[in-house]
Amino acid sequence: MLDLPLLSFLIWLPIVGGIGVLIVGDRFGAKQFALGIAALTFLLSLPLYTGFDATTANMQFVELLPWVETFRINYHLGVDGISMPLILLNTFITVLVVIAGWEVITYRISQYMAAFLIMEGLVNGVFVSLDAMLFYIFFEGMLIPLFLIIGIWGGPRRVYASIKFFLYTFFGSVFLLISLIYLYQLGGSFAVADLHKQPIELTPQILIFLSFLLAFGVKVPMWPVHTWLPDAHVEAPTGGSVILAAITLKVGGYAFLRFALPIVPDAAAQLDWLVMLLSLTAIVYIGFVALVQQDMKKLVAYSSIAHMGFVTLGFFAVYGIARYVIGDRVAPEGVPFDLAAQMADGRFDSAILAMQGGMVQMVSHGFISGAMFLCIGVLYDRMHTRDINAYGGVVNRMPMFAAFYVLFAMANTGLPGTSGFVGEFMVILASFKANVWVAILAATTLIVGAAYTLWLVKRVMFGDIRNGEVAELQDINQREFIMLALLAGAVLLLGLWPQPLTDVMEVSIENLLMQALQSKACVGALVGGCL
């Protein structure tokens, strides 16, 4: 299995399978074919974990073929401990999305299933690309199926939402392309590993970082470029909301780790305050915005923005932690600071913890947000409304569903024992060494998250049955039970036993931290000093 081009299979099997679903059509088992392709892709992704060597930071399962030799663009694939968990998340969630649309989607079924399969392959391509131009192609390509999913199977304002989503994300990507072309002109290579080693002066670094911040910040999304997300969620079908929250948002977080921190570390260190400020704004302000929502989808959409704020907060808190650990000391010119020795002594454990927390939060949020949107979809399929005021006393008619709903809601608040607690706790704990007040503010705003989530549960689930429509509700069927039970198991497993996840990413994160703290511009901005 390890000798096979496994990563190519994970990209092209769902893409070719999606085209096959289109050929099969609605009348000849499109759903069954799509489920088979999604399940097979998930099974093929498992050897990435079982065959992964967690003791090395080197890229694994590498594939390298020349593509556009004139510009040194290669078909270069590989995974490390950062990308591998996200691929597993993507393949797992796609199976659930196919199951979720089994009975709900009644028109253009084959196109619907094909869009998600093609989306899966393109997202896998984003996570495994080791060539910047190849990354950009997959990064842009994934917009197309999601644009169609929202625009064709969405709600009444689907056209507006899909165009807004596309324009926001495409606008940011233009600056990404300009930066990648500049980096190619500077070093003559699109290879990500070469870009990580390329010395860059501080001013170009800052400009490149700002372009990265815009391109990847829109994807996360960070405040204030977040306004496309609530509209997209509200209008998207259930499967679209699940993929959008569980997978698409993670592409932005992943790109920060793969591009921004290692390529322009001086600029990231200079502007870490800006990212942390935007992250805290998302955590605090967006939490209060979520508190006043009457549409369940919109509430969970704003909740996603707030929770993703912990991801970027954890990633960029490492610079504040480094300043605390080293005391802003920089090695004299020509005498490099022995960062590796300091890391081996455990002085940067808090920085590693912050990055690990951000990664765990991304995976956890994929499970929890996906589960929340699936639960909202279950209710919407029965009552055709997302208005919170239309519900009340659902537990009396759907006790099994209510149990799942409350579990996922508790995970969304960060209840210990669930995956929602682990990542946020790690980020907050690490942030204390970066800035005590930042950590305190981030921790106290968890109360707001608990407030809007528990208020949602109270109004929808508990109390007396509010109306005749609620009184006629039927509990979840076998299909719905399977998809919710799988997510419940994932939320509890990661919450009670996060070690299998943190172990595979630890060495890769240590290597990334070395790159993120090593100065490229000799400006004394980083603890690594001058190269």
List pLDDT tens digits, range 409-457.
Answer: 999 988 899 998 998 888 888 888 777 888 888 887 778 888 888 999 9
More confident residue, 177 or 104: 177
Question: Is residue 408 pLDDT above 80, yes or no?
Answer: yes
Q: Which amino acid is at 107?
A: Y
For residue 498, cis peptide bond before it (omega within 30 degrees of 0) = no
How does pLDDT run across 315-326, given as a tens digit for each residue?
A: 888 887 777 666
Is the dihedral angle over the CA atoms 284, 288, 291, 293 positive or is it negative?
negative
Residue 127 and residue 78: Cα distance in Å, rounded? Answer: 9
List, in sequence order, the alpha helices (H) in 384-498.
399-412, 419-434, 436-444, 446-461, 468-471, 478-496
Q: Residue 76: beta bridge partners?
A: 64
Backbone phi, then psi, for 55, in 5-degree steps? -90, -5
Q: Which amino acid is at 109?
A: I
How does pLDDT run across 214-233, given as a tens digit for each residue?
A: 999 888 888 888 888 888 88
Residue 125 and residue 78: Cα distance in Å, rounded? Answer: 10
Element (H, E) at 508: helix 499-517
Residue with tokens 């679903």: 21
Element (H, E) at 188: none
Q: What phi-psi label fits residue 66: left (phi over 0), alpha (psi between -120 and 50 degrees) or beta? A: beta
311 HSE (CA, 13 A, CB side): 29
Q: What is the DSSP letter of 519?
A: -
Residue 377 and residue 384: Cα distance in Å, rounded? Answer: 9
Average pLDDT in the 152-158 region? 86
Residue 132 and residue 72: Cα distance in Å, rounded? Answer: 11
Start-to-end C-alpha separation, the chain: 40
Backbone phi, then psi, for 64, in 5-degree steps? -140, 120
Backbone phi, then psi, for 63, in 5-degree steps? -130, 135
Among 191, 220, 233, residue whose Cα is nearest residue 315: 220
The Cα angle at residue 260 between residues 258 and 261, in degrees rounded to 5: 80
Residue 131 vs residues 78, 122, 191, 247, 460: alpha-carbon distances, Å: 10, 15, 4, 21, 47
Average pLDDT, the chain: 87
Q: Name the pLDDT band for 338 (thresholds 50, 70, 90).
A: low
Residue 228 and residue 160: Cα distance in Å, rounded? Answer: 10
Residue 5 and residue 9: Cα distance in Å, rounded? Answer: 6
More confident residue, 324 or 142: 142
Residue 211 and residue 194: Cα distance in Å, rounded? Answer: 19
Average pLDDT in the 383-405 region? 90
Residue with tokens 């920085």: 351
SS3 (DSSP) at 199: coil
Question: Is residue 111 pLDDT above 80, yes or no?
Answer: yes
Residue 340: how many CB atoms within 10 A of its CB?
A: 10
Residue 208 and residue 483: Cα distance in Å, rounded? Answer: 42
Residue 465 and residue 392: Cα distance in Å, rounded? Answer: 6
Among 225, 221, 388, 411, residue whose Cα is nearest residue 299: 388
Structure tokens at 131: 């060539």
Structure tokens at 498: 């996060």
Residue 394 and residue 462: Cα distance in Å, rounded? Answer: 6
Q: Name the pLDDT band for 187 (thresholds 50, 70, 90).
A: confident
Distance, CA of 165 to chain centre:
17
Distance, CA of 284 to chain centre:
20
Among 247, 252, 255, residue whose Cα is nearest residue 282: 252
Whether the Cβ atoms of residue 312 and residue 355 lie closer than 8 Å to each other: no
Residue 68 and residue 339: Cα distance in Å, rounded? Answer: 38
Q: Residue 65: beta bridge partners?
A: 75
Full-model pTM: 0.91
Question: Is residue 525 pLDDT above 80, yes or no?
Answer: no
DSSP characters over 290-357: HHT--BHHHHHHHHHHHHHHHHHHHHHHHHHHHHHHHTT--PPTTS---HHHHHHTTTTHHHHHHHHH
Average pLDDT in the 342-359 region? 78
Question: Is residue 392 pLDDT above 90, yes or no?
Answer: no
Maximum Cα interatomic distance, the chain, rounded to a whole number of Å:
78
Q: Name the pLDDT band for 341 (thresholds 50, 70, 90).
A: low
Q: What percent of the chain has pLDDT over 90?
A: 41
Whether the Cβ atoms of residue 231 and residue 59 lie closer than 8 Å to each other: no
